[in-house]
Structure 1
């Protein structure tokens, strides 16, 4: 969350001390994400990241994936992972009066500026991380991609709203195209791998030695590899195709990749990002700063993206031909 929820920090601190049996010091709110609130907290010389889902809302999917992240970490995954620290009872998350919480080590590094225009060496390492992830065979059962369009149904409910009305015709065109793409990709061979579903930009840290930390596994699933690869081309337009070319240069060439899957995952993301901001404006009671960010985001991450979908797919097509 970009704005801290209405939480009694003192009460939350006492709750997590009891839950984990550690003498945590002051909680420091970190503004990031949409669904959960993040805090930095120290216990002696150790720094941790505390994730709070206020009231327990939207926690179920993320909590269900925590055993997978811990298993991937224990298997020696190439990138550092925010593996969950067990509670005193041995659980990977816990309930407190403020909601549901999970605790993680505070990982080193920083997110470089200007995604995706990062140093080639970092992009090459990202390619190796993705290749390792897509080869993983975890014992934990993950959700499976069904190419659903629940977000399209949600957006249709708001097409008459004032903030959406000026783009109604363009939105209908995007929804029709998305449904055609859905039909096309459901007819393709089902080659599913473990995917992060958003391994780009702010979900990556790079330390001083070039090692990556991969954050936010709340949406990990079994899906086509294009689910991860397509989103390498998700950034402020016009996007830079170097990231996809660098990643594919170190990615296994024996894995077939389909342009229609790139198109589906990109357009669904554009529509999802647009819809999330519409819903936030209409039902989220945002403050002035959040409301302005949401309105700007409708353009930056929604309409400005789908207006250049063909150009973005041209970049993807070229990168696939160069493999």
Structure 2
């Protein structure tokens, strides 16, 4: 989130001291992410933590709260059982719980990882791509050692489609807006209406092929982009496990399709210890679903959720610069993967 949650820092700090038994020095808001408010917590003894705060009045953040019961025990287990150590994991409160609720919010305290995210490091070097691929393989190799029944399993959900269609209808039925951000939203999105609906129909078709795929499901992080990767002392750390689930491997491979996929696949298979079969239609499904679901979320933010204009401006920029401008590159990237796979036969 770009705008700080409406709670005074000293009130938040006092609640954290009470619930976690830590002596606070400061709490600093970090403008990042979409599904929660982020803070850096500094303690009097020099320790630091990362805090996620979820607003119960925000329907998207309520969905994120629901996911806590799946991925917080998972990341705790991955770290403490040494299945995958380069991970953020929850700090338990005084009652031994992974999350804490007070004042109509839910908070989770995580270990703090030094370093910088790779959000601005694109295009990734060969070294980084190989490191990500090895980590993806390591995460998937942990599958037999975790309780899969306690995690979400991929259902190829596209329930966002109703929100997307609703938002487009609202934009169509609205006259020219006095609000410049919402007017700009209409001007950017409505000319793309037919393409959006065509891609949505394609996602429905691809979902059928995805459901029919019988490939073994594995543990996937689900959102491996630069903003969820922190590099420190040549080590990569994976943060924000909200999308983690048991799913086809393509769920974690899709972010690296295109020309770099050859490098990624070689390092991935080498660490796995065997070759893999890639389902191109699954890559298509995950690519289109990702961008259309993001579009639906950002449209819902601007039209219904956001209370600050700065957040609206941020979400509009995400729609224009990190969503709609990427649709036309999906098929060329999938074809590049297909060509790489053909050369390997």
SS in 2 for 1:283: helix
For structure 2, the 5+ residue unaligned runs are: 172-185
For residues 306 and 95 of structure 2, what CA distance do their matches in structure 1 show?
Answer: 37
1:237 alignment partner in structure 2: none
2:308 alignment partner in structure 1: 287
Query: Does the CA contact (< 8 Å) of 1:12 and 1:96 recur in 2?
Result: no
Q: CA deviation at 1:293?
A: 2.4
2:295 alignment partner in structure 1: 274
Q: Does 1:193 align with 2:218?
A: yes
Query: Does the CA contact (< 8 Å) of 1:28 and 1:41 recur in 2?
Result: yes
For structure 1, the 5+ residue unaligned runs are: 234-239
Structure 1 251/321 Cα, relative in aligned 2: closer, same or farther at 3 Å? farther
1:69 to 36, 59, 75: 75
For residues 220 and 319 of structure 1, what CA distance do their matches in structure 2 show?
Answer: 28
Q: CA deviation at 1:78?
A: 4.3
Query: Does the CA contact (< 8 Å) of 1:4 and 1:37 recur in 2?
Result: yes
Q: CA deviation at 1:322?
A: 4.6
TM-score (norm 1): 0.91
Query: Does the CA contact (< 8 Å) of 2:220 and 2:245 recur in 1?
Result: yes
Q: CA deviation at 1:52?
A: 1.0
Q: Does 1:57 align with 2:58?
A: no
2:96 alignment partner in structure 1: 90
Please list the CA deviations of residues 99-156 of structure 1 after superposition, one character each: whole Å capped at 9, or x if unmatched. 1111111102212364442222222111110001111121252101111211112211
For residues 187 and 35 of structure 1, what CA distance do their matches in structure 2 show?
Answer: 31
Structure 1 113/294 Cα, relative in aligned 2: closer, same or farther at 3 Å? closer
Q: Does 1:101 align with 2:120?
A: no
Query: Does the CA contact (< 8 Å) of 1:231 and 1:265 recur in 2?
Result: no
Structure 1 46/320 Cα, relative in aligned 2: closer, same or farther at 3 Å? farther
Q: How does 1:178-189 map to 2 (within 5 A)?
A: 178-189=203-214
TM-score (norm 2): 0.86
SS in 1 for 2:322: helix
1:154 alignment partner in structure 2: 163
Q: CA deviation at 1:287?
A: 2.9
Query: Does the CA contact (< 8 Å) of 2:217 and 2:248 recur in 1?
Result: yes
Q: CA RMSD in A?
A: 1.8
Q: Does 1:174 align with 2:174?
A: no
2:147 alignment partner in structure 1: 139
Q: Does 1:309 align with 2:309?
A: no
SS in 2 for 1:2: coil
Q: CA deviation at 1:232?
A: 2.6
2:48 alignment partner in structure 1: 47
1:251 alignment partner in structure 2: 268
SS in 1 for 2:153: coil
Q: Does 1:224 align with 2:233?
A: no
SS in 2 for 1:298: helix
Structure 1 312/42 Cα, relative in aligned 2: closer, same or farther at 3 Å? same
For residues 283 and 62 of structure 2, what CA distance do their matches in structure 1 show?
Answer: 31
Segment drifting more, 296-305 vs 257-266: 296-305
Please list the CA deviations of residues 145-198 of structure 1 after superposition, one character each: whole Å capped at 9, or x if unmatched. 111211112211222232243221111111111111111222221421000100
Q: CA deviation at 1:203?
A: 0.2
Count of aligned pairs: 315
Please list the CA deviations of residues 1-47 of structure 1 after superposition, one character each: whole Å capped at 9, or x if unmatched. 12111112211111110100110211000111112111111221211
Structure 1 110/321 Cα, relative in aligned 2: closer, same or farther at 3 Å? farther
